[in-house]
Amino acid sequence: MSHHFSGPNFAFPRGDARLDLTDLYAFPKPGDPGKSILIMNVHPSVGVNPSGPTTDEPFAPEALYEIKIDTDGDAVADIVYQVRFTSADGGAQTATLRRVEGAQAAQTGEGGQVIVQGAPVSMGREAHVTQAGEYRFFAGWRSDPFFFDTGALNNLQFTGKDFMADKDVCGIVLEVSNRALRSKELRLWARTLVPEHSGRTDWIQVDRGALPLQTNVLAGEQNDAYLGGDPADDARFVPVFAHALEHTGAYTPEEATRAAGALLPDVLRYDPTRPASFPDNGRALNDDAADTFLAILTNGKVMQDGIGAHDDLLAEFPYLGPPHNGSR
């Protein structure tokens, strides 16, 4: 479901819901086309394997959460917005936002220029927003904006119900000047990382993605390798994706290879000077990404799941609706 439950067998990466990337969005700021909104959602409030509620702690303090940005089209990051969280008494958390540039952006590790430090993480319905120069920053529990009939994953046996309608996620929302993005041809993806060993600073990537749905449906037996990989190396997964598409959409081998090539590398293309419209440019919160993917998955035989956007989206920052569980 979107990029939810992206570990093997619809579980969480390393069994930790806080590390699970769910969705990535990028769109021009409403009313101010000189700025962009970047949103990285993680940590579904409910799991399916195992089933039931996940932890109330929004983010893993030991982890790094990153939005990576390629500005020159080589699928290698030139800018990274990196967030690290700390825990405080009573379950509260604070966040530090850094910007990493240049050669360091293509590497793995904590560093870069501090943009925001000690920003409060929102645990309830009130959105705590932090301003730092031209940046605005939010992190905390929010209503999950993704909408989808999960029957599509059960041999297209649609139920008419939106599984995500009453679910929450943890959002990392950033308002940034387009000047800071430095290009009109951006490629974005998000990832989560954890230390290789306790107390060490060697980092392991445990989840990554940009486009919705395809990872937990198409990566198959190579799921771990895919989640731990980089977009610049995604050509190696074209045969895996093509093989799956031959079965789901009755593609010919040649057609399947072409379709798989359109899904990889796994990056979200975004021109901040144009309106957002998935899959052509960025992704807005009400874009029906599920229908786009269903059309590819079935080779045009199924074009929609009949589920529409949620009605709790906000018209202003942080744009994500308040959480359904209002007091965590």
Burial of 17 (0-12, 13-18, 19+ CB in 10 A): buried
- Backbone phi, psi, residue 117, to 5°: -135, 135
Residue where the block lists tokens 């360091």:
104
- Compute the mean pLDDT over every residue in the chain, rounded to the nearest whole number: 92
Considering the entire predicted model, what is its pTM? 0.95
- Backbone phi, psi, residue 18, to 5°: -65, -20
Q: Tens digits of per-residue pLDDT, 16-35?
A: 999 999 999 999 999 999 99
- Residue 203, pLDDT > 60, answer yes
- Tokens found for residue 306: 């009949």
- Tokens found for residue 326: 């209002």
Identify whether the C-beta of residue 289 lies closer than 8 Å to the C-beta of residue 295: no
Q: Tens digits of per-residue pLDDT, 64-119?
A: 999 999 999 999 999 999 999 998 667 789 999 999 999 999 999 999 999 999 99
Sheet holding 21-29, edge to edge: 21-29, 32-42, 168-177, 135-143, 130-132
- Tokens found for residue 167: 């679910």
As a whole number, mean pLDDT of residues 215-222 equals 77
Q: What is the pLDDT of residue 326?
A: 60
- Residue 327, pLDDT > 60, answer no
